[in-house]
């Protein structure tokens, strides 16, 4: 049992949605049980939204870009939720506080819900909560869920596993940065958007596009994979919106949307089993004493990490 008024949640009641997300985000054990119960209830009435991830280096202009997209989307009378995964927001101001301020035009619109994801604890927890928050937004009737994630750590790979369309937002001349830091990122990307191009010449834009075309694998799309825009003056946004719209229709009609979601379920099932095995292992009383003994042995040079850890795992996970 949980205390959330499910009917109201389904009717898109925003205070109830906010209350439900707070429950999901709680780290209290008793709340977790209620949250699991709530998510179970939601999955019975699953509604398919279009989930879009916008990823990119800090400061690339993700929030500003999303704001431009929102201005296009609200014209269509769609309900849109914007969520953020930001594992670094504890240390820096992060995108969260800024987002609220930057999205001031759109977030005041009745069809738009902006929710920063507070960063408590480790990344795994944050991502799990974001996935469940998406489910809550879908239950509340949102048509589109946009997830903003900073290109820090592994967040974009996890975000990929909970969304339908992955946008990598970059700025001109960041090819070397991407090459050095994120070799695999282009492979999981559906659309590369080069932002902040308002003062860039046609020639330079072409050079940028060539760079990405050379570095991408050959997955087939019926749109040009590299697009440019300026989120400052809105140039190029409408074209990107049209690509998103067309792609949603295509993915929905040819079954890719559902296929992709099913593949993602496989990922979350395995991830959840892994977490449970680890919890179960460490929750055994004797394990922590034995780990201390292992450390002692390694210090005394009477055993190796590999040998001793294999022994303890074999002993407790038969
Ligand atoms: N010149 C120019 N500036 C832009 C453009 N888009 C965003 N900016 C500016 O870039 C800065 C960062 O924009 P944000 O939207 O906060 O970037 P972000 O990627 O969301 O940043 P984090 O959430 O902190 O990672 C702000 O000062 C924006 O006004 C653009 O197209 N052109
Ligand atoms: Mg931001």
CA dist 49 and 106 (Å) reads: 19
For residue 217, name the pLDDT band (cuts at 50, 70, 90). low
- Residue 3 has what pLDDT? 87
- Residue 246 has what pLDDT? 93
- The pLDDT mean for the chain works out to 85
**Nearest ligand (C-alpha, residue 169):** 1
- Asked if the model's pLDDT at residue 106 lies above 70, the reply is no
Q: How far is the CA of 53 from the centre of ligand 2 (A)?
A: 12
- Residue 92 has what pLDDT? 41
CA dist 163 and 53 (Å) reads: 6
- Asked if the model's pLDDT at residue 298 lies above 70, the reply is yes
- Say how many CA atoms lie within 13 Å of 282 toward its Cβ: 5
- Residue 79 has what pLDDT? 94
- Residue 93 has what pLDDT? 40
For residue 2, name the pLDDT band (cuts at 50, 70, 90). confident
- Residue 87 has what pLDDT? 53
- Residue 161 has what pLDDT? 93
- Asked if the model's pLDDT at residue 219 lies above 70, the reply is no
- Out of 174-178, 281-285, 288-292, 303-307, least confident range: 174-178
- Say how many CA atoms lie within 13 Å of 283 toward its Cβ: 6
Q: Is the CB of 127 under 6 A from ligand 1?
A: no
Q: Is the CB of 62 under 6 A from ligand 1?
A: yes
Q: How far is the CA of 55 from the centre of ligand 1 (A)?
A: 13
Q: What is the pLDDT of residues 132-186, one digit of tens each?
A: 999 999 999 999 999 998 766 677 888 899 999 999 999 998 766 666 556 678 8
Q: How far is the CA of 89 from the centre of ligand 2 (A)?
A: 11
pTM over 0.75: yes
- Residue 68 has what pLDDT? 94
Which of 53, 56, 57, 63 for a ligand 1 pocket mutation test, highest count of atoms within 8 Å of Cβ? 63
- Asked if the model's pLDDT at residue 41 lies above 90, the reply is yes
Q: Is the CB of 195 under 6 A from ligand 1?
A: yes
Q: What is the pLDDT of residues 52-88, one digit of tens each?
A: 999 988 889 999 999 999 999 988 889 999 998 765 5
- Residue 25 has what pLDDT? 87
Domains and CATH numbers, the chain: 1-44 (1.20.5), 46-256 (3.40.50.300), 270-316 (no CATH)
pLDDT (mean) for 253-273: 93
- Asked if the model's pLDDT at residue 94 lies above 50, the reply is no
Q: Angle, to 10 degrees, between the axis of helix 285-299 and the axis of helix 305-316?
A: 160
Q: Is the CB of 95 under 6 A from ligand 1?
A: yes
Q: How far is the CA of 241 from the centre of ligand 1 (A)?
A: 19
Q: Which residues are found with C-beta within 5 Å of the ion, ligand 2?
A: 62-63, 95
**Nearest ligand (C-alpha, residue 93):** 1
For residue 103, name the pLDDT band (cuts at 50, 70, 90). low
| Percent residues over pLDDT 90 in the chain | 56
């Amino acid at each position: 049992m949980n205390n959330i008024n499910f009917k109201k949640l389904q009717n898109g009641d925003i205070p109830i949605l906010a209350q439900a997300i707070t429950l999901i985000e709680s780290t209290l054990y008793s709340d977790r049980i209620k949250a699991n119960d709530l998510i179970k209830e939601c999955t019975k009435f699953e509604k398919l939204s279009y989930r879009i991830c916008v990823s990119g280096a800090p400061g690339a202009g993700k929030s500003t870009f999303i704001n431009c997209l929102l201005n296009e989307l609200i014209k269509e009378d769609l309900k849109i939720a914007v969520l953020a995964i930001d594992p670094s927001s504890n240390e820096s101001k992060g995108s969260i506080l800024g987002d609220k301020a930057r999205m001031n035009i759109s977030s005041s619109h009745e069809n738009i819900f902006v929710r920063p994801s507070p960063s408590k604890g480790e990344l795994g927890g944050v991502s799990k909560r974001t996935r469940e928050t998406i489910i809550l937004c879908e239950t509340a009737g949102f048509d589109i869920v946009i997830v903003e994630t900073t290109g820090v750590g592994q967040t974009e790979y996890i975000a990929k596993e909970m969304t339908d369309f992955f946008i990598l937002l970059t700025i001109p001349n960041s090819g070397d940065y991407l090459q050095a830091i994120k070799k695999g990122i282009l492979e999981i990307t559906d659309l590369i958007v080069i932002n902040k191009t308002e003062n860039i010449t046609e020639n330079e834009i072409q050079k940028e596009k060539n760079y990405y075309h050379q570095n991408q694998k050959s997955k087939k799309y019926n749109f040009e994979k590299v697009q440019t825009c300026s989120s400052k003056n809105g140039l190029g946004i409408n074209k990107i919106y049209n690509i998103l719209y067309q792609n949603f229709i295509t993915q929905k009609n040819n079954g890719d949307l559902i296929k992709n979601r099913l593949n993602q379920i496989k990922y979350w099932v395995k991830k959840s089993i892994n977490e449970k095995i680890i919890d179960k292992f460490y929750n055994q009383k004797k394990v922590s004493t034995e780990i201390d003994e292992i450390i002692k042995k390694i210090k005394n040079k009477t055993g190796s990490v590999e040998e001793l850890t294999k022994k303890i795992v074999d002993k407790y996970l038969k």
